[in-house]
Structure 1
Amino acid sequence: MILVTGATGTIGGAVVRQLAARGEKTRALTRDPARAGLPSGVEVVRGDYADPGSLTAATAGVRAVFLVTPPGPAAARYDTALVTAARAAGARRLVKLSAIGTGDPEVGRFGGWHEEGERAVRESGAAWTVLRPSSFAANSFGWAAAVRAGEPVPNLTGAGASGVIGPHDIAEVAVAALLDPGHGGRTYTLTGPEAISVPGQAAVLASVLGRPVGTRDLTPDEARTFLRTVWASTTPGRTTRSPGCGTSVTAATRWSPRTSPGCWADPHGPSGSGPRTTRGRSAPPDRGARPRSVLVATGRTGPGRRRVP
């Protein structure tokens, strides 16, 4: 049995669906099982990071755990509680979703949110893998209201570029780490194949929508308000160009990232009816037909998705 925490979130949900598609016994942890909407055959259990008793019940009998904790100052406490429960239950493998820049003092407080959790996983005595993804492609859905209204999208990072990555790429690496012991003791930095800035993303959106999409740099006060509201932080991090984009995804899955340049721009997302999902369409074990990333609707993923010898 494999336990997936954060199972109704963007990454956790993709991990659950990919495991279920492979026929793996999967248990999904969520605060509200009645609203989980996960594939049939998945055991859905109620749990709360702040409730040790619920974590003890959720980890009973599991052999591996995918740890997803909400970003913020409480992440260390939640990660430690999950690791403690998992090891007490005899889990032999832990895969933690962390963040790019963890441990880098130049990133600001963001860089410390997952530091204690990573340490807890590494010192747990279990086989471990840490995943440090770059900017989530799904973050662009936060621009929805501005794009629909024809207003410029908020830009916290100026001309800084990051290797935007789609959730299915992250999930594929997580599944590989949960199932393949060859990934034990590894820390993977996960990016898409192209470093792109917010103005660059806006330009791609404009080309998809056929109309201008501008950006507006936030003032320091506006940035602090945004970060306090969204991520409980007031210290903006630094976004820089991502070296070696896509290399860890390739190393872990033997496939190049499907998040090819511009593929996160979905006309059914920020400007339309919402994200296009692939519920129940995760890739089979034989690596046959590839599902699209949750943000892909531009037709740019075919040639960009290739097997690595």
Structure 2
Amino acid sequence: MLVIMILITGATGTVGHHVLELLSTDPLRREPLRAISRQPDRISVAGVDAVAADLDDPPTLAAATEGVRAVFLATAPGPTIPDHDLALITAAVRAGVTKIVKLSAIGTTPESDQPDLGSHAPAGWHAPGERALAGADTLRWVSLRPASFASNALSWADDIRAGRPVINTTGNGAMPVIDPADIAAVAVRALLDDRLDGTALTLTGPAPISVPEQVAVLADLLGRRIPVTDLTSEESRRHYLDQGWPTAVAEEIVGSQLAVREGRHARPTAAVAEVLGRPGADFAGWAARNRSAFTG
């Protein structure tokens, strides 16, 4: 007898692990859960079928999608997103999956990767997957386009603990950063409730906040000064190249940061509150819950 399941990809990632934990306790869920990872032993949620699969290895995806009704699709950030999205979508269609909820990015449209539009990552990386979902006759889909994650501030933790300055690559540009747990909560509603089918939701926190303002929140929380070093776009490009990023990727990242510098994604949306029936967490709330990460 074939068991119908919900499949979570990216189950050990920033949003995926929240999705898995929320689904595991959601009273509306009736189906078993399966989660895939290259290292399935890292998936420790009780009652979850943890299987080894690799988005670069199509036969493993065929096995992982067998008997699955719905998929939460989250692929690792970077230029491999289009290939990984399409590999999973192809396997899902062949397996008879009927719904995919895709984790995309703010500013993405199906046309985002067209060069004449001047699009930059991550929107351009997610566009092929969004087009594939919209073009699959047998699939119902939801695309989640979140703003920058509040948890990206964790990348500053080592510097903050060591008293080094936080590197700011977006100037005074503000974005309504979002708590990844709120993204996950919306994803769970989308997986379990058909009323969101066929929609692309731009998910944000309640208010725009710049990097210097985020650092100020952390400084107040920790009770000490945290210095900030501002980089120009050219300095940012060199910074990423010095870290070992390929030139093309560094260019894409700097281009996406320019959108933040210019305030192109500064406007909050009401999508989180409309779906969840409550306001999303602001950066200060996220920081307070994660204070220990910055104190060691």
Shorter-chain TM range is 0.7 to 0.9
Matched, 1:93 2:99: yes
Is the CA contact (8 Å cut-off) linking 1:246 and 1:256 kept in structure 2?
no
Alignment map for 1:34-183 (pairs within 5 Å): 34-36=41-43, 38-103=44-109, 105=117, 108-125=120-137, 126-183=139-196
Residue equivalent to 1:200:
213
Residue equivalent to 1:28:
35
SS of the residue corresponding to residue 44 of structure 1 reads strand
Amino acid aligned to 1:256: P
CA deviation after TM superposition for structure 1 residue 242, in Å: 4.2
Matching residue within 164, 180, 185 for 2:198: 185
1:75–1:18 Cα change, 3 Å: same
Higher helix share: 2
Matched, 1:212 2:225: yes
Distance 1:164 1:231 in 2: 24
Is the CA contact (8 Å cut-off) linking 2:176 and 2:267 kept in structure 1?
no
Bigger shift: 66-75 or 44-53?
Answer: 66-75
SS of the residue corresponding to residue 262 of structure 1 reads helix
Q: Which runs of 5+ in 2 are unaligned?
A: none
Residue equivalent to 1:234:
250
CA deviation after TM superposition for structure 1 residue 245, in Å: 1.9
CA deviation after TM superposition for structure 1 residue 227, in Å: 4.0
1:33–1:94 Cα change, 3 Å: same
1:226–1:78 Cα change, 3 Å: farther
Residue equivalent to 1:276:
none
Distance 2:68 2:239 in 1: 39
Amino acid aligned to 1:73: P
CA deviation after TM superposition for structure 1 residue 40, in Å: 0.8
1:183–1:102 Cα change, 3 Å: same
Residue equivalent to 1:268:
292
Distance 1:165 1:244 in 2: 12
Distance 1:231 1:161 in 2: 25
| Deviations 1:94-135 (CA, angstroms, capped at 9, x unpaired) | 100001122454552433110101111111221100000001
Residue equivalent to 1:255:
278
* Identical amino acids, percent of aligned pairs: 45
Distance 1:154 1:264 in 2: 20
CA deviation after TM superposition for structure 1 residue 177, in Å: 0.5
Residue equivalent to 1:307:
none
SS of the residue corresponding to residue 226 of structure 2 reads coil
Is the CA contact (8 Å cut-off) linking 1:227 and 1:234 kept in structure 2?
yes
CA deviation after TM superposition for structure 1 residue 231, in Å: 6.7
Q: Which runs of 5+ in 1 are unaligned?
A: 274-309
Amino acid aligned to 1:218: L
SS of the residue corresponding to residue 63 of structure 1 reads strand
SS of the residue corresponding to residue 164 of structure 1 reads coil
Distance 1:185 1:15 in 2: 20
Is the CA contact (8 Å cut-off) linking 2:175 and 2:267 kept in structure 1?
no
Bigger shift: 105-114 or 46-55?
Answer: 105-114
| Deviations 1:151-176 (CA, angstroms, capped at 9, x unpaired) | 21010100000011111100011001
Amino acid aligned to 1:155: N
Count residues in correspondence. 270
SS of the residue corresponding to residue 128 of structure 1 reads strand
What CA RMSD, in Å, does the superposition of the two structures yield over aligned residues?
A: 1.8
Normalised TM-score (structure 2): 0.86
CA deviation after TM superposition for structure 1 residue 222, in Å: 3.9
SS of the residue corresponding to residue 142 of structure 1 reads helix
1:10–1:231 Cα change, 3 Å: farther
